[in-house]
Amino acid sequence: MITAEFHRRGRDAILVPIHVRPEDFATLVPQLKRIANLDGLVFTIPYKQLACAHADALGPQARIVGAINALARRADGRWVGEIFDGIGCVEAFRRAGHSLRGRGVMLIGAGGAGSAIGVAVAREHPRRMRLFDIEAARSEALGAKIARVDPAIEVEWTEPDLAGIDILINASPVGMLEDPRLPIEVERIPPEIVVFDAIVKPEPTRLLELAARCGCPTVRGREMMHGQIGKVVDFFAGEEPAG
Amino acid sequence: MITAEFHRRGRDAILVPIHVRPEDFATLVPQLKRIANLDGLVFTIPYKQLACAHADALGPQARIVGAINALARRADGRWVGEIFDGIGCVEAFRRAGHSLRGRGVMLIGAGGAGSAIGVAVAREHPRRMRLFDIEAARSEALGAKIARVDPAIEVEWTEPDLAGIDILINASPVGMLEDPRLPIEVERIPPEIVVFDAIVKPEPTRLLELAARCGCPTVRGREMMHGQIGKVVDFFAGEEPAG
């Protein structure tokens, strides 16, 4: 998808998969950065946190999340890192016409993807963010990050609960692939709630199926991916992440 | 061309250009070899000699030439190097239906390409190989390599001269790009001589233009490139170079 976006913009560039073993990461990445015609790297699990060490500077979301998924060489030779997972989610909401400003958001999952989404959503200034993760320490850490972005947001920590919520976001792995569970134990979802699921497979997830049956607007994980592509390519083209 | 050949064979593989600076070569190549989904490397000028140090074993032509242009990971994790420049030239002659066995060959240029071509041609057992390079030491060194391949070949060192010659090979840079010179000072070439020029640009070279005007069969540098592609892809697919 990134290669296709490069070509759409007339850029002679390609993204190729590089399989790096954990024991090689620390020594291999600095050497990749020395390749004269390699101007960007994309990182995925489990390297998003470790990759920060290879950036000379971090974008505003990466600084708070503590992880990057893109690293770009600038004209002066410095490497800048940023995380676009959450930016992609926010972009998907924007493209679908759903504002986050002033809304009540229930966010399930505060791992890598959940943290990135939580920070990016916080930058849109919702009224309330209710956080849940099966590891309480993770949702507490995410709450602290959200407070750094916008101290005015009411942060709550509860079991998944839709009271006073306008937007439900699943960033947990519950419902992925063969997992038949819902990330929230409900029979139905009020039809005014916008439901987003970061999971790409299956498509739709059981959560999004339930939401659709209830008449809720939905945003799919695939739309987050699409939302992220253009932003990552902007970043590789030299655009600095909004501060 | 290599990527196209991979795809033609139904192989999910791609060749991408990697620009490595001279000061980085020794440290970068060992790290590239640690990439788990990178199973082959192609080297070009000025790295064909230096690259030998990164091979665990050398093919029969590389052992004599002292240079490689392809390095392949084998199933047991060992990296095998071979040079295909000369193999491509011989393959181009074979495809064009011109035998080298028992013939008289005039080879102009004994640098990297010339050495590889000289060794590959020698393996076809011509009767005579007449060598010329503006640096006499290079054509002398090539003569020694040819003798290692087949001591029965009559090796001569002279200025470019077509007496008793059936096949004229230019592997020197004379005539490349804007260079208007011919690699051999002749007004015409006897029409029974097969003329090959390793130079790809311009196409045809002035030498090949002259040969065509004289009615000589010609083999182009592009045909050497084509001849090399299939052999390199065979090598990456696990085929060992003929001993």
| Closest to B195 measured CA to CA, from B175, B216, B172 | B216
Q: For B5-61, what is each residue's pLDDT tens digit?
A: 999 999 999 999 999 999 999 999 999 999 999 999 999 989 999 999 999 999 999
In degrees and rounded to multiples of 5, residue B126 shows phi and psi of -70, 165
**Would you kindly state where each structural domain of chain B is located, as residue ranges?**
2-84+225-236, 86-220
Residues of A in contact with B23 (CB under 8 A): none
Residue entry with tokens 């963010």: A129
Residues of A in contact with B16 (CB under 8 A): 14, 16
- Is B2-84+225-236 assigned to CATH 3.40.1800.10? no
A26/B contact by beta carbon, under 8 A: no
pTM for the structure as a whole: 0.88
**DSSP label of A23:** G
Peptide linkage before A202 cis (omega within 30 of 0): yes
- The whole-number pLDDT of residue B71 equals 98
- The whole-number pLDDT of residue B62 equals 96
CA distance B47 to A106: 57
Q: For A159-196, what is each residue's pLDDT tens digit?
A: 999 999 999 999 999 999 999 999 999 999 999 999 99
Please state the rounded mean pLDDT for residues B122-151: 97
Residues of A in contact with B38 (CB under 8 A): 18
Q: Which residue of A has its CA nearest to B17?
A: A37
| Closest to B194 measured CA to CA, from B170, B160, B228 | B170
Residue B73 has pLDDT above 90, yes or no: yes
Reported as a pLDDT band with limits 50, 70 and 90, residue B240 is confident
CA distance B177 to B98: 27
For the domain B86-220, what is the CATH superfamily, name and number? Answer: NAD(P)-binding Rossmann-like Domain (3.40.50.720)
State the smallest CA–CA distance between residue B38 and chain A in angstroms.
8
Q: Which comes out higher in pLDDT, residue B191 or B239?
A: B191
CA distance A94 to A115: 19
Residue B219 has pLDDT above 90, yes or no: yes
Residue B242 has pLDDT above 80, yes or no: no
Reported as a pLDDT band with limits 50, 70 and 90, residue A2 is very high
Torsion from C-alpha of B31, B33, B35, B36, nearest 10 degrees: -150
**DSSP label of B73:** E
**CB burial class (10 A; 0-12, 13-18, 19+) of residue A141?**
middle
State the smallest CA–CA distance between residue B47 and chain A in angstroms.
15
Instruction: Give the right CATH number for A2-83+225-236 from 3.40.50.10860, 2.30.42.10, 3.40.50.1260, 3.40.720.10.
Output: 3.40.50.10860
Q: Which amino acid is at A218?
A: T
- Three-class HEC string of B11-48: CCCCCCCCCCCHHHHHHHHHHHCCCCCCCEEECCCCCC
- The whole-number pLDDT of residue A157 equals 97
Enclosing H/E stretch for B106: strand B104-108
B22/A contact by beta carbon, under 8 A: no
Residue A16 has pLDDT above 90, yes or no: yes
- The whole-number pLDDT of residue B241 equals 80
- The whole-number pLDDT of residue A243 equals 67
Q: For B89-106, what is each residue's pLDDT tens digit?
A: 999 999 999 999 999 999
State the smallest CA–CA distance between residue A111 and chain B in angstroms.
27
Query: What is the pLDDT of chain B when averaged over all its residues?
Result: 96
In degrees and rounded to multiples of 5, residue A52 shows phi and psi of -55, -35
Contact flag A20-B14 (C-beta cutoff 8 Å): no
Contact flag A24-B34 (C-beta cutoff 8 Å): yes
A35/B contact by beta carbon, under 8 A: yes
Kindly report the length of chain A. 243
- Residue A7, CA distances (Å) to A11, A13, A92, A120 in order: 5, 7, 22, 28
Residues of B in contact with A31 (CB under 8 A): 24, 27-28, 31-32
Residues of A in contact with B32 (CB under 8 A): 31
- The whole-number pLDDT of residue B243 equals 67
Please state the rounded mean pLDDT for residues A198-224: 96
Residue A154 has pLDDT above 90, yes or no: yes
| Partner residue facing B24 (CB), from A28, A34, A37 | A34
Q: Do domains B2-84+225-236 and B86-220 have the same CATH topology?
A: yes
Structure tokens at A210: 């339930």
Reported as a pLDDT band with limits 50, 70 and 90, residue A242 is confident
- Of all residues in chain A, the percent with pLDDT exceeding 90 is 97
Please state the rounded mean pLDDT for residues B98-126: 96
Q: Which amino acid is at B42?
A: V
Q: For A19-75, what is each residue's pLDDT tens digit?
A: 999 999 999 999 999 999 999 999 998 999 999 999 999 999 999 999 999 999 999
State the smallest CA–CA distance between residue B30 and chain A in angstroms.
9
Residue A237 has pLDDT above 70, yes or no: yes
